[in-house]
Amino acid sequence: MQGPADTRMYPAEREDPLVRRSEIIISSVLRGGVILSAIVIAIGVAAYVFSGSSTLRYPHGLRYPDTIPTLWFGLTHGDPLAIIALGLIILLATPVLRVAVSVVAFAAVRDLLYVAITLLVLFILISSFLLGLGGG
């Protein structure tokens, strides 16, 4: 009978310090990204509450940032909505960064199959973001 701490399934992976270190780095990236995005969003919400509302006018008459350049415009003018949008972008970028870190981790242990699979996933993620920039 196998218990929950059974090491017969993957004994080499459980003992490899490089694999364990990679797992810790990946979990730290995920945790850090979520915490950072929550802090940035909280700052933006607090700024919005204390300022009353966003009065900044963006190019083309918009009242909120809808592209990276307008986000930068809003951030440089201290717009609370731009700060909130930055927090959301950080939150969206966190899993992408996790996949990129996984590529490095798999390469470090010389697992070429998983390097290839993870690179494909990274390509699909980045492509979907870039293709989504067209709006619509």
Chain segment 96-129, per-residue pLDDT in tens? 999 999 999 899 888 899 999 999 999 999 998 8
Number of domains in the chain: 1
Does residue 89 form part of some domain? yes
Does residue 113 form part of some domain? yes
pLDDT at 43 over 80: yes
pLDDT at 77 over 60: yes
When pLDDT is averaged across residues 64-72 and rounded to a whole number, the result is: 84
Q: What percent of the chain has pLDDT above 70?
A: 82
Host domain of residue 76: 26-134
Does residue 86 form part of some domain? yes
Q: Model-level pTM?
A: 0.75
- Buried-exposed string 28-56: b where 16+ CB fall within 10 A, e elsewhere: ebeeebeeebeebbeebeebbeeeeebeb
